[in-house]
Amino acid sequence: MGEFTLRIDGMHCGSCIRRVTQALGSAEGIQVEEVRLGAARLKAPSVPASVDLAIAALAKAGYTSRLEQ
Protein backbone atom coordinates (compact mmCIF):
# COMPACT_ATOMS: atom_id res chain seq x y z
CA MET A 1 0.00 0.00 0.00
CA GLY A 2 1.17 3.47 -0.83
CA GLU A 3 0.70 6.50 1.35
CA PHE A 4 -0.06 10.05 0.26
CA THR A 5 -1.18 13.34 1.77
CA LEU A 6 -3.74 15.75 0.35
CA ARG A 7 -3.89 19.46 1.14
CA ILE A 8 -7.54 20.44 1.55
CA ASP A 9 -8.88 23.98 1.21
CA GLY A 10 -11.90 25.31 3.09
CA MET A 11 -11.63 23.32 6.31
CA HIS A 12 -12.11 25.41 9.46
CA CYS A 13 -13.70 23.33 12.24
CA GLY A 14 -14.37 19.91 13.72
CA SER A 15 -17.46 19.50 11.56
CA CYS A 16 -15.28 19.93 8.45
CA ILE A 17 -12.93 17.23 9.74
CA ARG A 18 -15.87 14.88 10.23
CA ARG A 19 -17.30 15.65 6.76
CA VAL A 20 -13.90 15.12 5.07
CA THR A 21 -13.35 11.87 6.99
CA GLN A 22 -16.75 10.57 5.88
CA ALA A 23 -16.20 11.62 2.25
CA LEU A 24 -12.81 9.93 2.07
CA GLY A 25 -14.07 6.86 3.93
CA SER A 26 -16.72 6.35 1.27
CA ALA A 27 -14.13 6.29 -1.53
CA GLU A 28 -13.43 2.68 -2.51
CA GLY A 29 -9.99 1.33 -1.65
CA ILE A 30 -8.86 4.33 0.36
CA GLN A 31 -7.85 3.94 3.99
CA VAL A 32 -7.96 7.14 6.05
CA GLU A 33 -4.94 7.38 8.35
CA GLU A 34 -5.40 10.93 9.68
CA VAL A 35 -7.53 13.99 8.96
CA ARG A 36 -6.61 17.37 10.42
CA LEU A 37 -7.49 20.94 9.48
CA GLY A 38 -6.20 21.48 5.96
CA ALA A 39 -4.85 18.00 5.26
CA ALA A 40 -5.51 14.27 5.16
CA ARG A 41 -3.05 11.37 5.20
CA LEU A 42 -4.28 8.32 3.30
CA LYS A 43 -3.24 4.82 2.25
CA ALA A 44 -4.29 3.06 -0.92
CA PRO A 45 -3.19 0.08 -3.05
CA SER A 46 -2.82 2.14 -6.24
CA VAL A 47 -1.63 5.62 -5.36
CA PRO A 48 -1.98 7.52 -8.67
CA ALA A 49 -5.54 6.31 -9.33
CA SER A 50 -6.52 6.66 -5.67
CA VAL A 51 -5.36 10.29 -5.53
CA ASP A 52 -7.84 11.17 -8.27
CA LEU A 53 -10.57 9.18 -6.51
CA ALA A 54 -9.91 10.95 -3.19
CA ILE A 55 -9.86 14.40 -4.83
CA ALA A 56 -13.17 13.61 -6.57
CA ALA A 57 -14.75 12.45 -3.29
CA LEU A 58 -13.68 15.67 -1.59
CA ALA A 59 -14.96 17.79 -4.48
CA LYS A 60 -18.34 16.07 -4.16
CA ALA A 61 -18.33 17.04 -0.47
CA GLY A 62 -17.52 20.66 -1.40
CA TYR A 63 -13.76 20.81 -0.77
CA THR A 64 -10.92 21.51 -3.18
CA SER A 65 -7.76 19.52 -2.63
CA ARG A 66 -4.40 18.72 -4.18
CA LEU A 67 -1.61 16.23 -3.67
CA GLU A 68 1.05 17.45 -1.23
CA GLN A 69 4.43 17.42 -2.94
pLDDT, tens digit (0-9, with 9 covering 90-100), for 10-68:
999 999 999 999 999 999 999 999 999 999 999 999 888 899 999 999 999 999 999 99
Q: What is the pLDDT of residue 49?
A: 85
Rounded-to-integer distance, Cα 38 and Cα 23, Å: 15
Q: What is the pLDDT of residue 61?
A: 97
Q: Which residues of 25-37 are buried (b: 16+ CB within 10 A; e: fewer)?
A: eebeebebeebee
Tell me the domains of the chain and their CATH numbers.
2-67 (3.30.70.100)
pLDDT at 47: 85
Return phi, psi of residue 11, to 5°: -90, 135
